[in-house]
Structure 1
Amino acid sequence: MKTAVLPIFLLAFTFATAQEKLEDSNKVHEIKEVTMTKKVFSKKSDRFVYDVAASPVAKGNTAFSLLKETPLVSSTDDKSLKILGKSKAVIYINGRKSNMNEEAVLEMLKNMPAENISKIEVITLPGSEFNVEASDGVINIILKKKLDDGVNGNLRMNNNQNIRNRQSAAGSINYRKNRVGISASLNSSDWTNSQHYILTNGTSSSSNTSVGPIVDPNLNVGGYLNMDYEINENQNLALSYNAHANKSYGSYSSLFNTSQRAGSLAYSITELDENSRSYNNSANLNYEAKTDDKGSKLNLNAAYLNFRRFQRSTNTTFLSSALQDKLGTQAVFNQRTPQIINNYAFTGDYIKKFDKDLTLSTGANLSFTKTDNDTYFEALNSATGSFEKDGNQSNHFTYDERLSGLYVTAEKKFSDKFSGKVGVRVENTSSEGNVLDTGETIKRNYTNVLPYLSVNANLSGASSLSYAFSSRVRRPSFWEINPVRMYLTSTNYVQNNPFVKASAVYNSELTYMLKQSYFLIASHTLAKDDNAQVPLQNGQELRYIRTNFGDKQELGLSAGMQKNFFNGVLTTNTSVGVQFNTVKGSLSKDPLTGDEFEPYTIDSSTSSLFIQSNNNLRLSKNKDWFMGVNFFYIGEQIINLGTLSPLSSLDLSVKKIWNDWTFNLQFRDVFRTHILRLKDTQSNGNYNTVRNNNYSQSVEFSLTYNFGNKSVKKIRSINEANKDIKSRTN
């Protein structure tokens, strides 16, 4: 708790000081009206707006670094961006979702000059026009206008060292001439993910402990090609293509198992060898037409997505001594788990601007998805020495899904002090899952009405109060409904479930802003019939079942500031708060096999402190040396699997800018505190603990070279028709 004292004190002091100044400002209100400067950070009815053009932070920075210093946005690993309280941030550019995959988007942001950005909008609760999942937030990057024609690009090399050495490289180029814009990128990486597990589970009379490493080498190649043609001043046509390939051969795990039963000990070693490869290809055709000079426009998209993954694994369990000597083979099984996904999607949106104070939007989407999962499982018959198919674990599962949606929103500025936005989204889901081996069919057809509301009131020239409500649906990913088991040991495995249903999620948020630098946020999320992995235990057997489990509530209270000190030498973005989690649910039967287990019940609440602080220090007057100090901490909290122990990480970085070159040295998880620990103890005596070290402590060096005309206009980024489907293929 000592780590929390200083940030809390700083925030309390700055809020008190700011409030004092606000009260004093009321006495000289007329003078302030004349001398007021442009707002750097403000709150509209449905979003936070960070005016980069009015901020000194942008100079000498990249878009990615700038986003990390944007209020409510954070990155703890430099590989992802998150919005406070959200699972992930979906990137939009000029109001349209980027048509690149997440890796390519981040590489683009890491090499985009921050001087090209006009504003950054952080949308914590997206409106009805955004087709996103229940817990997703949106970051909308607005680029500056009046950029010149020409060619530019960048080359980037990266080397990361933790317990293994990992490398990546990327290059991109942008071309614009008159009405034609072309953008292309290619990236590759040789990246091995290493983890070390300690798994324990059992009862007072029996237990099992598994200890060992999991190593997953990955070779990745990806890229994109985007073409944009301006038909005339009012019409544009764009075609985009994205591709990504992954090869993961030689993945393995080796777990040493110690079983205790009736006072006696038995030892074994479980080894898993796996080869897999996957391919992801997508294309999107976009047409946009401006219908009047007020900004009204029509946007149409047609998209295709093809995802293929092929995976083979061999799981072998050996009898062992206490010294981990292999004494003989106990069991062997092979498994093939291929998955093929094809998706066709269409969207249409029309935005009508009646005047600067009223905007109406309406749109529709239609999506068709077909998945094919032909799982094959065979076990070694020790008597015959041959492998025999296991019909209970082999299955050919196909899944067809049709999603259709309609939305309408209205946004109105009633006065300089009050604005609001209201909308509704209606979604219909029709699906059919078939287990071809047994003839079993799972059909669903349901409609969701999803309302949205946000209002914003300017209480004075320096403070505002806003409220937003959003209703969303969280559908399971396609891999979660594929009825297959993924083994760690012969008695410890994850089991997917085709009977998982979508969950309803309701979000509320109340925000108070002061002087465009300080903010207080109270948020509440209720997930009804939430789906998650639930541990079912029977003696030493432990199944993590994907199923609808119960209800979950999250209440968050946070205070933060985004502030420059010492004429921009120090920029800090700090948030401190408390999160209250409540989880209620119970499960005693495997929904796929019908097997009965001792009930797993969770009905508890936790409160946890969280701290997020990103700080950038300019070390030289020439603005070419910078130091970064980033820290996060989150206290103990309850989740569906049990109680998660505190997590924290301190990251340091030094950056040098030399002409068109950027050199960056980063030290991540300096004190090696980012280790996951999970525990659960049931009233019947069953217990389950997990310790996972993913070796997040590392040193990383990156080198970036930017060439060409730095003011080349980026081509239009398109809101793909199948963007919501892509997120469910991972």
Structure 2
Amino acid sequence: MKKIIILAAAISGSVVFAQEKKSDTVKTKSIEGITLTKQVFKKQSDRFVYDVAASPVAKGNTTFDLLKQTPLLSSTDDKTLKIAGKNNALIYINGRKTNMDAESLAQFLKNTPAENIQKIEVITVPGSEYQVESSDGIINIVLKKKMSDGTNGNMRFSNTQNKYNSSQASFSVNYRKDKLGISANLNGGESIQPQSYILRNGTDQMKNESVGNIDDPNKNIGGYLNIDYQLNDNNNLALSWNSWANRSYDSTIDLFNTLTQPNEDGILETNYTRTKNREDARNYNNSVNLNYELKLDSLGSKLNVNAAYLIYKRFQFSKNNTMLPGITNWSDFSRTGKTIVQDIPQIINNFSGTADYIQKFKNDFTFSAGGNFNKTKTDNDTKNLTYDYTYDDLGHLTGTTTSPELNHFIYDENIYGLYLTFEKKFSDKFSGKIGARYEITNSLGTADSPTNPIESQRHQTIKRNYNNFLPYLSFNYAINDKNNISYSFSSRMRRPSFWELNPVRNYITEYNYTQNNPFVKASSTYNQELTYMYKNSYFLILNHSYLKDQITQVPLQGFTKTTDGQVSDQSVLRYIRTNFGDRQEMSAMVGIQKTFFKQYLTLNFNAGIQHNINNGSLSEDPTTGETFVDKEGKPLVYTNHVKSTSFIVTSNNTLRLDKKKTWFLGVNYFFVDKQQIELGMLKNLMSLDLSIKKNWNDWTFAVNLNDVLRTNVVEIEDYQPNGNYNYIRNDQYRRSVTVSLTYNFGNQKVKKVRDIEGASDAIKSRTR
């Protein structure tokens, strides 16, 4: 059900402080970190660094739980992560971006023990050397690496209970012998992801409501293999492989639908139907990256080259049934009114390469130059069959009409990029960096739809060629030992994800569905960020982002009117991916990461405000050219010109309960005030999470209670000036209890691994 109810992903992706992005590295003066037992949290030139190995919260946790407790990071949907003040956060592991779709990535992080992590780097504004999009930020997870010869690792088992029960397990191992280092992880689990929905929409003339549940069973297995070999003192070769497989069979949607509208005589009539959907889906992610690094001198000059290959496959087969009430028994929905059968495969192949040259000079000057190439092909051969059933007055089946719909969409894209950066440390207090990227994008999309009744839409070609110059600037000034200030500016493009371009419909009900769009074009984003730190513990971050031609999901509803003037006899609601005007986001956040009472309390607290300015309108389905009108034929335009200001609080606290540092209590809380997003007004969200953990030699036992008050439920309400309204309530049963057991074995001495940015990093997020 991942792509059927893409509405849920759109909701969670819009929430403040909740998704996945990239950011670049801008070097400035390092600031001493806060002291727990070591420098746990510190600001480096272009990033914030959380030293997990020195923190007591890592042991017994999962990587996902640890990320939620990292300063500046949060999650409101328990699936995606967001950097404060950013729309999205992209997950890197050892400098290489993960190759997984959003659902698989969440499961991977939840099944990977936090003991594997050396540190977490939060890069809020990326430099020109990074291939990032939009206002993305980067979360780079640096895994541990053995320092001495031998083997170590860990095993973790957990069980979670919410509406259903689920279980997870993982095994990790690290091996080192002389110049050879190997690390590997295997993890998996099974679960049923439940959701409940209330969907209401309509006008002053009609009302439509769908209420029901979604159950999505999942089985996952995945892992990684990293091999690093030091050829000699100056040459290093590394190979990494990431793999993930997901099987989601017998996913179901069961919705009760109520439609009230006037009949031909103007009298209100209410009709009832039931939507019963079933879906089988599976997907596979496999990526391999080969890295070569040549050290050029003792100052840190180097040449870094990557070559990567990515293949992503998803197969989705679904049956959408609209059930009619019985003739004599209205509670018996045994007659099928319509069946929509969909076969929606997607295959993505990507080859990419990067080369980076970094030259350091003795006068604290660094010059960097490099380039990248990405070649991607997506193949989407979609087949739809619609069966309409007719009955006589006694309810007997009298006939069936079959309507096939075929669409074969192939998308080829080539991206070429070059960058230059100049970095200079002018004094012990002041340093700066300037750079720029130049990107060339050539794409060709072809859609063959032989069954399309509109002749002009049976074969469509969408060709785009565009070039972008993307400047970058940053500086860092250490006022004194206690005060530091830094500023960054960057400009980025946001290319549509590959699934957003695939022109298919995913049905929620017969007249309520999502619509992808091959005509979506790249959007532009301009980011500014000002950061102030005091005493290495307190920080203030001011952020402004301007998004032009933003890519989002827009709800259009009403009666459709074709280009030749024909008006449908049934109102529909379409959630359409498209470019929807401009948007500004401004945020101010204060935070603290500090220990108190002789390290018995570790406090990680953020609070701030975010102001959103929306400016968009849409009246036409960009995929068909249809416009939307009311019953009298008056045009209906969806608009969002609303400004909103919201308050955000995140507090993650760890209490050490004994002198021996074996018992820990965790109290975590977040609150997101109501705010205007593209789909309407998102009501406030909050969650209280509690945990208790016991460390005993190499064993860790933990119990986590999530969303104790059951307040993390999404509600969106939208009222349009033309009388249209739309309401969504989505409960994903986030209140749960998880019991876990972790065992660490072998020699636990580790050292920092070499950071490697994979060649296909910029492509991976677009498979989500």
CA change 1:370–1:73 in 2 (3 A) is same
1:689 aligns with 2:727: yes
Using a 3 Å threshold, how does the CA distance of structure 1 residues 385 and 307 change in structure 2: closer, same or farther? farther
Q: Is the 8 A contact 1:79 1:106 kept in 2?
A: no
| Residues 1:588 and 2:638 are matched in the alignment | no
Which stretch has the larger CA shift, 457-466 or 158-167? Answer: 457-466
Q: Is the contact made by 2:600 and 2:656 (CA closer than 8 Å) also made in structure 1?
A: yes
Counterpart selection for 1:633 from 662, 671, 675: 671
2:505 equivalent to 1:505: no
CA gap 1:385/1:51 in 2 versus in 1, 3 angstroms = same
The CA deviation at 1:345 is: 0.6
Match of 2:236 in 1: 236
Question: Take 2:121 and 2:437, find their aligned partners in 1: how far apart are those partners?
Answer: 22
Q: How far 1:717 sits from its partner (Å)? A: 5.2
Q: CA deviation at 1:82?
A: 3.0
- The answer for the alignment partner of 1:21 in structure 2 is none
Closer, same or farther in 2 for the Cα pair 1:238/1:387, shift >3 Å?
Answer: farther
Q: How many residues align?
A: 688
Q: CA deviation at 1:264?
A: 1.7
Deviates more, 1:354-363 or 1:658-667: 354-363
Task: Kindly report the root-mean-square deviation, in angstroms, between the aligned alpha carbons of the 2 structures.
Answer: 2.4
Alpha-carbon separation, structure 2, partners of 1:550 and 1:504: 11
Range that drifts further, 707-716 or 214-223: 707-716
Q: Give the equivalent residue in structure 2 for 1:315.
A: 320
User: What are the superposed Cα offsets for residues 392-413 of structure 1, whole Å, 9 maximum, x if unpaired?
Assistant: xx21110000011111112221
- Give me the whole-angstrom Cα distance separating, in 1, the residues matched to 2:359 and 2:172: 36
Separation in structure 1 between the aligned mates of residue 183 and residue 39 of structure 2, nearest angstrom: 33
In structure 2, the residue matched to 1:367 is 374
Does 1:301 pair with 2:306? yes
Deviation at 1:457, TM superposition (A): 1.3
SS in 2 for 1:277: strand
Q: Deviations over 1:477-509 (max 9, x none)?
A: 111000000001111000000000111011111
Gapped runs of 5+ residues in structure 1?
A: 1-36
Partner Cα separation in structure 1 for residue 437 and residue 335 of structure 2: 60
Are positions 1:388 and 2:402 aligned together? yes
Provide, for residues 199-233 of structure 1, a one-character-per-residue CA deviation record: whole Å limited to 9, x for no partner: 01111111100000011111111122222221111
User: Which residue of structure 2 lines up, in the alignment, with residue 622 of structure 1?
Assistant: 660
1:281 corresponds to which residue? 286
Answer whether contact 1:284 1:720 (CA < 8 A) is retained. yes
Partner of 1:162: 162
Task: Flag the 1:440–1:81 CA change in 2: closer, same or farther, 3 A.
Answer: closer
Q: Which is worse superposed, 571-580 or 533-542?
A: 533-542
Structure 1 CA distance, aligned partners of 2:145 and 2:733? 43
Residue of structure 1 in register with 2:435 after alignment: 423
Select the residue among 343, 350, 359 that pairs with 1:343: 350
Please report how far the alpha carbon of residue 357 of structure 1 lies from its aligned counterpart in structure 2 after TM superposition. 2.1
The 2-side partners of 1:77 and 1:596 are apart by 34
SS for the counterpart of 2:518 is coil
Q: Which amino acid aligns with 2:607?
A: V
| C-alpha distance 386-304 of structure 1, shift in aligned 2 (>3 A) | farther
Q: Which amino acid aligns with 2:728?
A: V
**Which residue identity does 2:689 align to in structure 1?**
D
Quote the residue 2:361 is aligned against.
354
Partner of 1:572: 603
Work out whether residues 40 and 516 of structure 1, in 8 Å CA contact, stay in contact via their aligned partners in 2: no
Report the Cα offset of residue 668 of structure 1.
Answer: 0.3
Q: How many Å apart are 1:75 and its aligned residue? A: 4.7
Kindly report which structure 2 residues correspond to 1:456-535, keeping only aligned pairs within 5 A, or say none.
456-535=476-555
State percent identity of aligned pairs.
55
Q: In the TM superposition, what is the alpha-carbon distance from 1:67 to its structure 2 partner?
A: 4.9
SS at match of 1:725: helix
The amino acid across from 2:275 in the alignment is: T
Q: Secondary structure at the match of 1:282?
A: strand
* 1:152–1:712 contact (8 Å) kept in structure 2: no
Deviates further, 430-439 or 642-651: 430-439
Counterpart Cα distance in 2 of 1:157 and 1:58: 18
Q: Once structures 1 and 2 are overlaid, which stretch shifts more, 223-232 or 168-177?
A: 223-232
Partners of 1:97 and 1:718 within 8 A in 2: no
- For 2:106 and 2:363, the matched residues in 1 are separated by 37
* 1:14-52 CA-partner distances (Å, limit 9, x unpaired): xxxxxxxxxxxxxxxxxxxxxxx9976544443234567
Contact map agreement 1:206 1:260 (CA 8 A) in 2: yes
Aligned partners of 2:233, 2:62: CA distance in 1, in Å?
29
* 8 Å CA contact 1:99, 1:718 repeated in 2: no
Shift in CA distance, 66/699, structure 1 to aligned 2, threshold 3 Å: closer
User: Which residue of structure 2 lines up, in the alignment, with residue 435 of structure 1?
Assistant: 447
Distance change in 2, residues 1:51/1:659 (3 Å): closer
Distance in 1 (alpha carbons) for counterparts of 2:186 and 2:128:
34
Distance 1:590 1:38 in 2: 57
Q: Partner residue of 1:11?
A: none
Contact residue 645 and residue 676 of structure 1 kept, 8 A: yes
The one-letter amino acid paired with 2:283 is S
Distance (whole Å) between structure 1 residues aligned to residue 766 and residue 98 of structure 2: 17
Q: TM-score, normalised on structure 2?
A: 0.85
In structure 2, relative to structure 1, the CA distance for the partners of 1:112 and 1:104 (3 Å cut) is: farther
- 1:201-216 to 2 correspondence within 5 Å? 201-216=201-216
Contact 1:63 1:113 in 2 (8 A): no
State the shift of 1:514 in Å. 1.2
SS in 2 for 1:345: strand
Residue 496 of structure 2 contacts residue 520 of structure 2 at CA under 8 Å; is this kept in 1? yes
Partner of 1:270: 275
Answer whether contact 1:77 1:668 (CA < 8 A) is retained.
no
Residue identity opposite 1:637 in structure 2:
Q
Per the TM alignment, residue 155 of structure 1 is displaced from its structure 2 partner at its CA by 0.9
Q: 2: CA distance between counterparts of 1:162 and 1:405?
A: 46
Amino acid in the other structure paired with 2:606: S
Alignment partners' CA distance in 1, 2:687 and 2:744: 31
Question: How far apart are the structure 2 equivalents of 1:621 and 1:185?
Answer: 33
1:133 and 1:242 mapped to 2: Cα distance?
A: 22
Equivalent pair of 2:60/2:693 in contact (CA under 8 Å): no
Name the amino acid aligned to 2:402. E
